[in-house]
Amino acid sequence: QVTLRESGPALVKPTQTLTLTCTFSGFTLGSSGMCVSWVRQPPGKALEWLALIDWADAKDYTTSLKTRLTISRDTSKNQVVLTMTDMDPVDTATYYCARGVTTLRFFDYWGQGTLVTVSS
Amino acid sequence: DIQMTQSPSYVSASVGDRVTITCRASQGISSWLAWYQQKPGKAPKLLIYAASTLQSDVPSRFSGSGSGTDFTLTIRSLQPEDFATYYCQQGNSFPRTFGQGTKVDIK
């Protein structure tokens, strides 16, 4: 079955770079139509889509954070990595990775999420 | 970017009630709309995609409709396990965007 799991630091300091890893199983990112996205949710607030990488290694980012985000993949390890530079307390959130199907344009499997707190 | 606006932001309802949530896109998105349910401390769960297609294992009391800019999620007879926050998401173009959420609470 399809599973995804996020990993990374629970606490980062302001101005630091955050690196999150999504390790997945049950599908192959290199298969046509597959993609993985990152979505975050500040405490008590709405979901915010951040980035996507697909089976062809195409990437897309949310407009407001485009200059700070980088998404990449390691298909041999079944991992997708998100880096976010210049972290700020407003970036405190639960970060989720989710599988998508590019032709259907939704996210059908989600990781449990990882809470990242930005504080000095 | 396409903005997704949900209404209401909050609804108080009783078990057995019919609940309707609306999602409006700032520009036409054809039928590229999904609905998710999220319970506290949990990841979102896909309910409906392509505006009206029920994801497998989702109860038939959930239904979706709409196309273009206006969409609706209906819960026909609210069950205790349906009290949650619901989000719409557009898949018409990048960047993908979510609505601000609708919390369904117990009256």
Mean pLDDT for chain B? 97
Please tell me which residue of chain B has the smallest CA distance to A104.
Answer: B50
Half-sphere exposure of A91 (CA within 13 A, CB side): 24
DSSP sequence for chain B: ---EEEE-SEEEE-TT--EEEEEEESS--TT-EEEEEE-TTS--EEEEETTTEEPTT--TTEEEEEETTEEEEEESS--GGG-SEEEEEE-SSSSPEE---EEEEE-
> Are A65 and A21 spatial neighbours (Cβ–Cβ below 8 Å)?
no
Instruction: Give pLDDT, residue B92.
Output: 96
For chain B, what percent of residues have pLDDT higher than 90?
98
> In angstroms, what separates the C-alpha of A9 from chain B's closest C-alpha?
19
Minimum CA–CA partner of B56 in chain A: A108
pLDDT of residue B14: 95
Residues of chain A with pLDDT under 50: none
Query: Which pLDDT belongs to residue A101?
Result: 87
Tokens of B105: 């609470």
Question: Across residues B15-23, what is the average pLDDT?
Answer: 97
Residues 6+ apart with CB under 8 A from B57: none
Could B44 and A49 be called an inter-chain contact, meaning their C-beta atoms sit closer than 8 Å? no
User: Using beta carbons and an 8 Å cutoff, which residues of A are at the interface with B?
Assistant: 37, 39, 46-49, 52, 60-63, 96, 98, 104-108, 110-113
CB-closest option in B45, B49, B97 to A104: B49
8-state DSSP, A5: E
> Per-residue pLDDT tens for B3-17?
999 999 999 999 999
Q: What is the mean pLDDT of residues B67-76?
A: 98
- Distance from the B24 Cα atom to the nearest Cα atom in chain A, whole angstroms: 16
